[in-house]
């Protein structure tokens, strides 16, 4: 059975949820830093239980679920 995707607090995440970053994150390949407290709405789950996909400032990005909490 596939493992559910969980946030940093252990809450199970689902497609369409909103999450908040709990840590400043540098985006690889750019000079952009995502600030703590940034809300990512309407997330999509990936095949990897430790990652989610979301849209930030119009860019589709994959993020580790360890750095998120459910909003």
Q: CA-CA distances (angstroms) from residue 3 to 24, 43, 51?
A: 26, 17, 12
- Domain 19-70 in this protein, CATH class: mainly beta
Q: Which residues contact 47 (CB under 8 A, 6 or more apart)?
A: none
Instruction: Phi first, then psi: give them for residue 67, nearest 5 degrees.
Output: -105, 20
**Structural domain spans, the chain:** 19-70
State the pLDDT confidence band at 20, using cuts at 50, 70 and 90.
very high
Q: Are 62 and 51 in contact (CB under 8 A)?
A: yes
Identify how many contiguous H helices and E strands the chain contains and give both numbers: 0, 8
User: What are the pLDDT digits (tens) for 23-67?
Assistant: 999 999 989 999 999 999 999 999 999 999 999 989 899 999 999
């Amino acid at each position: 059975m596939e493992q559910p995707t969980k946030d940093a607090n252990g809450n199970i995440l689902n497609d369409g949820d909103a999450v908040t970053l709990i840590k400043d994150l540098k985006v690889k390949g750019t000079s952009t830093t995502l600030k703590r407290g940034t809300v990512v709405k309407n997330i999509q789950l990936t095949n990897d239980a430790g990652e989610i996909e979301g849209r930030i400032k119009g860019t589709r990005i994959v993020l580790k679920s360890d750095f998120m909490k459910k909003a």
